[in-house]
Amino acid sequence: MAPLDLRPRSGVELIDASFQFMRENFALLFTAVAVTYAPIAVVEYRAAVEPGNIMAAMLSGLVAWFFSAFAQAAVIRIVAARYMGEDITAAEALRAVWSRIGTVLLVTFLYGLVVGIGTLLFIIPGIYFAAKYFASMAAAIVEGRATSPAMDRSAALTDGSRMRIVGIFLVTIIIYFVFNAAIVALGAALTSPASAALIARATMAVTNPFLFTLVTLVYFDLRIRREGLDLDFLMANPPAASPAAASGAIPG
């Protein structure tokens, strides 16, 4: 697959590119996410069947945290590979992420911790930290960085661009949550709580890859703007010469 058009993009263009990527790679992304979300669906269904079971609820939360992180990292791996013109399968992405699952979980934990603490401090600091460290997982998966260096890398990449990042994600996330909430509410109204839990997780298996794709594309956009990633890629992968140019023929 040819790489995407490597150039700086506006927020609207990044959102549109994420939709386009989803359309072109839906089966691949859905497969990777569905595999990781299946265990979550099982434990969430069980917890919904026994609403008073505290242990089932705790297990559900733990499994959801583990496999949600796994899913996000797998999507980032897929998007990064396709972005740079590489072929990859869902199985290859999952294996690559599994080999770094410790870092994936630590990045997820620390990101949630700092954003959660910031949110408790009157919300605005939470939004700031969310923008500052949003690229931590991408830095860990794409660049192979350890947990702390990945967080530092995100902070460096987003420096001076955090309001733009908030603008890109804010409306997108609001629409995402409204859509998911509507599906969940409809499922709860028409089915049992356990079935509604399955519907909610299936909906997220379809919609979450879009958010993870957008995260990855914004991460690459920052690298293009700050580091000239597009120029580095073109220098390492020059366009093939046309037959006429290769033979020295002059068109005309």
pTM of the predicted model, to two decimals? 0.85
Calpha distance 22→124 (Å, rounded) = 31
Domain ranges of the chain: 11-99+162-221
Check pLDDT > 50 for residue 240. Answer: no
State percent of the chain over pLDDT 70.
88
Which ranges of the chain does DSSP label H, i.e. alpha helix?
Answer: 11-24, 26-49, 54-83, 90-98, 101-120, 124-132, 136-143, 147-158, 162-190, 193-227, 229-236, 243-247
Q: Give the pLDDT confidence score for residue 230 in this predicted structure.
A: 56
Torsion, Cα of 214, 217, 221, 222 (10° steps):
70
Question: What is the C-alpha radius of gyration for the chain, rounded to an integer number of angstroms?
Answer: 20
Chain centroid offset of residue 66 CA: 15
Check pLDDT > 80 for residue 159. Answer: yes
| Burial classification of residue 123, based on how many CB atoms lie within 10 Å of its CB (0-12 exposed, 13-18 middle, 19 or more buried) | exposed
State percent of the chain over pLDDT 90.
62
Q: Give the pLDDT confidence score for residue 229 in this predicted structure.
A: 72
* pLDDT tier for residue 244 given thresholds of 50, 70 and 90: very low
* pLDDT tier for residue 250 given thresholds of 50, 70 and 90: very low
Asked if 158 and 152 touch (Cβ cutoff 8 Å), the reply is no
Give the model confidence (pLDDT) of 39-68 as tens digits: 999 999 989 888 888 998 899 999 999 999
Calpha distance 198→184 (Å, rounded) = 9
Give the model confidence (pLDDT) of 187-196 as tens digits: 778 788 888 8
* pLDDT tier for residue 197 given thresholds of 50, 70 and 90: confident
Best CA proximity match to 29, nearest among 183, 174, 207: 207
> Mean pLDDT throughout 73-91?
94
Check pLDDT > 90 for residue 218. Answer: yes
Number of residues in the chain: 252
Check pLDDT > 60 for residue 238. Answer: no
Calpha distance 206→34 (Å, rounded) = 9
